[in-house]
Structure 1
């Protein structure tokens, strides 16, 4: 197995429309790397460039020590798992998994051995003689993964493979793919718009926006230490709350929505500076009061989410656990540890540390 390195990678269409802007990235050998970001951020395009399905306009792509920038997809040593499974409906599971090796002239014994091993890993033995129409969505996706495994690639590429599954199956397949990575130790690149998938599966997350990397890091590092407002709002569910604020002469932040001045523990900019105050829903405690009112509550069993409107018109979400839960229409106060809060420059949205 081997890693992937992107050096100043650029993608343009028609010579004028640029969708990837000078991406530099190193994915270590055996690492599970997730590209995440909103629709249109360039994550699938970047993966397709690694696969060779999109031409690289500028820069280089290395897989291990090989420069694969101008290589055909078949020569790169990668296998891709698509959102749509792309199985042959007239073939059995066994035939689908071994078809690529058969077309490349591999001996029958070798094909059988590799299909059997992939089937064992993915627990598909009882389905080998079935055709795709007789399988569930999750089983079809496992077959698509098995087809990739039998090729013995250096790098696995997953392009939003769980998007077509229902919620329960998505959770099940997340666990299976994570277990697969642990078992075979391969380098994997995974594209998703779902930050929950990214947080639960990745060794490394690459947050993309408008064809540029906003931040790279381990899941909890991005959650705890975001570089800017975009990353802070994208990583974490529900998203971080953002409120308008201004630095005062006392070196604290006036947050009108909270009707208080917050001593955020950062190197404070000059008095009068407009800032954005951030606090995560899970770091806020609700109590009776008159600062703001609860518009709506979502009771999910072990946790509830309160949708709250401040007197300034700004809205925020607060998480509640335990036996006592607030009700819609209640007037409440909010409290939190200032050390858990974040501050961002209102103009650039960069993190103030």
Structure 2
């Protein structure tokens, strides 16, 4: 069994602590995605698992082995980077088998493993080509194939789709998901794109400033976020946040939005300033003049109406009918009370349950 266990893992660069006591378990065969904004520490954490960054504190285990101080070559991992890093003078087959060749594996074994990886990745017709004759998506598949032939216990992906255009990103997401289903290996994947995280992951780890904000299944994080940061990061378009006030009787007062009775066993205990969170699909336009239509994204089956409130807050509303407001119109808003989230108004923004 080749899961990964991080125990109170810390990383410092001089006096600056960039990974702050991370505890995490990735089960054998699980597809785990590290997600978060730029600078949150997700790539650094992945590189620590790979052994490319030394651990300043805590421990890392892969399977039954403590690999905290082990050399990268001894960890049983293979890493796919953002850049393809293929040898331009070698064919696809030679690129995929080069690592095994350098470690002295017999040619027959290398050929067998390369052929199997090529079958999995549908690279069979391309084995004789050189990288310059491949598309971006094909080059990334070769880089993944190079990892597969090593037969690692754990696959590590560091934003592997960042250099691809939108269509290829979708195609490669499907390829990576299919690869995981076929080989069943433990995979840890880093991305800043929460759509990639939602579509690929068995488990998402949301990071902010070197700390784990929440860990869970994609839909669990979407429907039950622990704080305002997770609620705003998971979901596209992002959740709307509006300053509001909760009365002791459970009435929520949000400027420019219809009053509503918010349900919950402890609503009265949260009386005072709160932050109302509502996803774009749970907001409805109505008559009124509290919000100005600033921009419209008409995408065909769905439109996103960007509003600016009289208080200056920006709000996005999703519409799926043809009754689209016009830029410059003044509109009112109401929301589905049972779909609303309440958060503390302080910096931590913890969920009020």
Normalised by the length of structure 1, the TM-score is: 0.97
Task: Measure how far apart 1:269 and its partner are.
Answer: 5.2
Instruction: Point out the more displaced range, 89-98 or 292-301.
Output: 292-301
1:290 & 1:142 partners in 2: Cα distance? 53
- For normalisation by structure 2, the TM-score amounts to 0.97
What is the number of equivalent residue pairs in this alignment?
Answer: 352
Say which is worse superposed, 47-56 or 268-277, in terms of deviation: 268-277
Q: Provide the rounded CA distance (Å) in 2 between the counterparts of 1:122 and 1:168.
A: 18
Q: What residue in structure 2 maps to residue 349 of structure 1? A: 349
Aligned partners of 2:337, 2:258: CA distance in 1, in Å? 15
Counterpart CA distance in 2 for 1:231 and 1:61 is: 26
Q: What value does the CA root-mean-square deviation take over the aligned residues? A: 1.3
Which 4+ runs in 1 deviate beyond 4 A?
269-272
Partner SS, residue 55 of structure 2: coil
Structure 2 unaligned spans of 5+: none
Deviation at 1:265, TM superposition (A): 3.1
Tell me if structure 2 keeps the 8 A contact 1:238–1:281. Answer: yes
In the TM superposition, what is the alpha-carbon distance from 1:274 to its structure 2 partner?
A: 1.3
Offset of residue 263 of structure 1:
2.2
Distance 1:6 1:111, change over 3 A: same
Correspondence for 2:305:
306
Provide the residue aligned with 1:9 in structure 2.
9
- How does 1:145-156 map onto structure 2 within 5 Å? 145-156=144-155
What is the CA–CA distance in structure 1 between the aligned matches of 2:87 and 2:162, rounded to whole Å?
20
Deviation digits for residues 102-127 of structure 1 (CA, Å, limit 9, x no counterpart): 00110111000000000000011111
Aligned to 2:29: 30
Task: Note the C-alpha offset of 1:328.
Answer: 1.6
> How far 1:332 sits from its partner (Å)?
2.3
Deviation at 1:266, TM superposition (A): 5.5
Q: CA deviation at 1:327?
A: 1.9
In structure 1, the gaps of 5 or more residues are: none
How far has the Cα of 1:270 moved from its partner? Answer: 4.4
CA distance in 2: counterparts of 1:285 and 1:258, whole angstroms:
10
Q: Deviations over 1:286-320 (max 9, x none)?
A: 23433422121110111100001222222200001
Match of residue 41 from structure 1: 40
Kindly indicate whether residue 202 of structure 2 is the aligned counterpart of residue 203 of structure 1: yes
